Amino acid sequence: MSPLLLKGVFVHPAAINESPEVGPGTSVSAFSHLLAGARIGENCCIGQHVVVERGAIIGNRVQIKFGVYLGDGVTLEDDVFIGANVTFANNSLTLHPPSPTPQNRIVVQRGASIGANATILPGLHIGSHARIEAGAVVTRDVPPHAIVSGNPAIIRSYVHASKEVSTDPDKRPNSFHPEPGPVPSLRGLAIVPIPLISDLRGSLSFAEIDKGLPFVPKRYFTIFDVPTPEVRGEHAHRQLHQFLVVLHGQCRVAADDGTHRWETVLDSPRTGLHVSPYIWLNLFGFSRDCVLLVLASDVYQENDYIRDYNEFERLVAARSRG
Q: What is the largest CA-CA distance in the chain?
A: 84
Q: Tell how far CA 124 is from the center of its chain.
A: 12
Q: What is the 3-state secondary structure (H, E, C) of 114-162?
A: ECCCCEECCCCEECCCCEECCCCEECCCECCCEEEECCCCEEEEECCEE
Active site residues: 235
Distance from the first to the final alpha carbon of the chain? 56
The residue among 120, 77, 263, 296 whose CA lies nearest residue 178 is 263
CB 128 within 8 A of CB 309: yes
Amino acid (one-letter) located at 27: S
Q: Which residues fall within 8 angstroms of residue 70, CB to CB, at 6 or more apart?
A: 38, 50, 51, 52, 53, 56, 58, 64, 76, 88
Q: Which residues, 6+ apart, have CB-to-CB distance to 15 below 8 Å?
A: 3, 28, 29, 30, 31, 32, 33, 34
Q: Are 110 and 129 in contact (CB under 8 A)?
A: yes
β-pairing verdict for 146-149 and 131-132 = parallel
